[in-house]
Amino acid sequence: EGGARTVGLTKVYGTGDTAVRALNGVTVEFPAERFTAVVGPSGAGKTTLLHCAAGLDTPTSGKVYVGGTELGALPDRALTRLRRERVGLVFRSDNLVPAMTVADNITLPLTLAGRRPDRVWHDLVVRVLGLGNRLRHRSERLSGGQAQRVALARALVTRPRIVFADEPAGDLDSRTGAEMLTFLRRAVDDLGQTVAMATHDPVAAARADTVVFLADGRVADVMHRPTVADVL
């Protein structure tokens, strides 16, 4: 069972007068083998939602399910294992290790877990993302777009239940950003993966199968098969 969902997720940062309610009863579905975009202005709660759904942050209340498993019910070690093996992350701060080759960066999550790659899956990911002739390159010599593609390959290599991507095209020029969206689509269409992306960019959001609109920590709307005009 793939995908993920949240039920009545609330997240409050801080206490008392300075408390910030970043999420306020957010119920969203990230269906298996679909590309879902979470859009909304800065401060809407997109990053907080992705962090909670990925098990990187603990909600104040509500539930998160990844592949049918409720994260809140897991002991710490099981949560760590689920995060490592069942969740892929592509965040802007997610830097590659510059001195390492592309090949070693891609397999890093497996190395850290003491596992060997599933060769067939690994080679398929590399081929679908067009990285086959760059495996021996040192990562510090990659362009921004190539580096982000390697980060996506690294997120996919464990064959996770879901990949979370926070502004995956945020640091890229528009052409390279559009290309990154194409590779996220390929992860879904050609590899059968599940992708959840946060973005403030309507053009990026329109590449998704479903768009969830967040505003002030609430789901304002959900739209299937959106056009750019729908998302504006």
Give the interface with ligand ADP as residue ranges (CB under 6 A): 13-14, 20, 22, 40, 42-48
How far is it, in rounded angstroms, from Cα 106 to Cα 46? 26
Which of 34, 74, 53 shows the shortest CA–CA distance to 164? 53
Q: Please work out, in degrees rounded to the nearest 5, the angle formed at the alpha carbon of residue 144 by the alpha carbons of 228 and 172.
A: 25
Specify the residue, 44 or 90, whose C-beta has the smaller distance to ligand ADP.
Answer: 44
Placement of tokens 């592949």 in the chain: 67
Question: Smallest distance from the beta carbon of 105 to ligand ADP, in angstroms?
Answer: 22
Question: Smallest distance from the beta carbon of 9 to ligand ADP, in angstroms?
Answer: 12
Specify the residue, 87 or 128, whose C-beta has the smaller distance to ligand ADP.
Answer: 87
Strand partners, 162: 87
Specify the residue, 43 or 67, whose C-beta has the smaller distance to ligand ADP.
Answer: 43
Residue 151, Cβ neighbours under 10 Å: how many?
Answer: 24
Question: Smallest distance from the beta carbon of 29 to ligand ADP, in angstroms?
Answer: 19
Specify the residue, 34 or 51, whose C-beta has the smaller distance to ligand ADP.
Answer: 51
| CB burial of residue 223 (10 Å; 0-12, 13-18, 19+) | middle
Residue 230, Cβ neighbours under 10 Å: how many?
Answer: 15
Dihedral class, residue 3 (left if φ above 0, else alpha if ψ from -120 to 50, else beta): left
Sheet of 61-66, strands arranged across = 20-30, 4-13, 61-66, 69-70
Specify the residue, 50 or 126, whose C-beta has the smaller distance to ligand ADP.
Answer: 50
Question: Smallest distance from the beta carbon of 93 to ligand ADP, in angstroms?
Answer: 8
Specify the residue, 51 or 161, whose C-beta has the smaller distance to ligand ADP.
Answer: 51
Question: Smallest distance from the beta carbon of 64 to ligand ADP, in angstroms?
Answer: 15
Question: Smallest distance from the beta carbon of 107 to ligand ADP, in angstroms?
Answer: 27
